[in-house]
Structure 1
């Protein structure tokens, strides 16, 4: 289990529709993203995704750990675009953005 129990953390989720015509769409029409964010530092300390294959989720989580959601998602967007070269990349980014946006709306 990740070390987020002793921190001021919040759990937020976002979802996005996977584009029709992709293989991923045949398995699931939506992708979900859950982020656990250290609210004192706006940093992702854990995450999960609703992919059938665990490796996909594990890889995405490894890209997000320690990243800030305070800078407008620039670093997260860049790393996902450069390193997650799979169908549904845009949907993954939209789900992450939706989760981060929900976090920021509640934090204000």
Structure 2
């Protein structure tokens, strides 16, 4: 990926729920988003899941989304398509990354 002048990288993190298998191996999830400031579009995304398939699946849910008016559309899609015990932590990591971006803007 080529970084452009108007791209920024933001990240948000959240803890997985204690007592879940994923907490025992990972504890925290990170959402790393590259956002085009001129369009508020997520041009690329990555998550800190150990498994590549999980990372790629969640990244595909957020990539290409406009966050000018918030992340509610992304949250709804994650709620319906990501059926894992740490779903709320993934959502919280996205919200935190968005809030960092929004505060900067």
Tell me the TM-score normalized by structure 2: 0.95
- For structure 2, the 5+ residue unaligned runs are none
Instruction: Tell me what 2:65 maps to.
Output: 67
C-alpha separation in 2, matches of 1:7 and 1:90: 33
- How many residue pairs get aligned? The number is 105
Structure 1 residues 1-108: aligned runs within 5 Å: 2=1, 4-6=2-4, 8-107=6-105
Please, what is the CA RMSD of the aligned residues? 1.1
Partner Cα distance (1:7, 1:44) in 2: 15
TM-score (norm 1): 0.92
Which 5+ residue runs of structure 1 have no aligned equivalent? none
